[in-house]
């Protein structure tokens, strides 16, 4: 027995649509006839590509969220932003050092932080964005890498930042520097790398590369996941 849902009004790009109550923004887009077939993580793209800004009826605040997890409300006005233009310098990790000087050179914008915490409030992942920016300013690369670990690069922090900082790209650099220079060596990783170099997994990789898309998808979703 199907459940009859109440229909509500939403505005996508200024155009009125009626969608079932309780839908996420992504579901509402698809119900309205839009095809999200490129970029969006839940649709075989990358997670974070469904960043959305919206206003709710009667609320003056401009809000941000991910279309995959934000539920529509009656009268909501919506605009999806699959990409936020952002500064992304080119660098060679082998030529960098894990200290504040690297960020002075590559991401001088982080030093414009006014500690307003707008970036943290905008983050749909509840990441302490301002705190990892402040860690970068102090030169605490390990702390910045840890605090930014769950970032999916949706860009909403940069979109709302009054100092126009590109927080998420600076966070990526922090994690890369930590991984290359500061993290402890893993003996298990060394073993796995040696196995790869010796061709232990070549046959399996070749099979995956030749596998049809539907079979590859079936294999992916039926895999055993160990959570420790």
DSSP the chain: ----PPEEEEEETTEEEEEETT-BHHHHHHHTT----SSBGGGTSBTTTTEEEEE-TT----EEEETTTPBP-TTEEEEE-S----------GGG--SSHHHHHHH-GGGGG-----HHHHH-TT---HHHHHHHHHHT-HHHHHHHTTT-----HHHHH-TT---HHHHHHHHHHHIIIIISPPPHHHHHHHHHHHTTTTHHHHHHHHHS-HHHHHHHHHTS-----
pLDDT tens readout for residues 160-177: 999 999 999 999 999 999
Tell me what pLDDT residue 72 has: 97
- Reported as a single tens digit per residue, the pLDDT across 73-96 is 999 999 988 788 888 899 999 999
Q: Is the pTM of this model over 0.85?
A: no
The domain ranges of the chain are 7-80, 93-182, 187-218
7-80 homologous superfamily? Beta-grasp domain (3.10.20.30)
Looking at domain 93-182, its CATH architecture is Orthogonal Bundle (1.10)
CATH topology identical between 7-80 and 93-182: no
Question: Which residues of the chain fall below pLDDT 50?
Answer: 1
């Amino acid at each position: 027995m199907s459940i009859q849902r109440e229909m509500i009004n939403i505005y996508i790009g200024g155009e009125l649509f009626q969608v079932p109550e309780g839908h996420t923004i992504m579901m509402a887009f698809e119900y309205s006839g839009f095809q999200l077939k490129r970029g969006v993580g839940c649709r075989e793209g990358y997670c974070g590509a469904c960043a959305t800004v919206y206003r709710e009826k009667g609320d003056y605040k401009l809000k941000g969220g991910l279309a995959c997890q934000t539920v529509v409300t009656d009268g909501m006005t919506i605009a999806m932003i699959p990409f936020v233009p952002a500064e992304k310098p080119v660098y060679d990790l082998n030529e960098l050092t894990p200290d504040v000087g690297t960020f002075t050179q590559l991401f001088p914008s982080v030093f414009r932080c006014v500690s307003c915490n707008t970036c943290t409030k905008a983050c749909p992942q509840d990441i302490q964005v301002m705190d990892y920016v402040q860690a970068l300013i102090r030169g605490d690369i390990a702390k910045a890498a840890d605090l930014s670990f769950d970032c999916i690069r949706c860009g909403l922090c940069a979109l709302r930042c009054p100092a126009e900082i590109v927080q998420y790209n600076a966070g990526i650099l922090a994690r890369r520097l930590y991984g290359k220079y500061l993290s402890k060596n893993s003996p298990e990783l060394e073993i796995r790398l040696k196995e790869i170099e010796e061709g232990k997994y070549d046959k399996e990789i070749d099979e995956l590369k030749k596998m049809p898309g539907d079979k590859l998808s079936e294999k992916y979703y039926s895999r055993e996941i160990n959570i420790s």
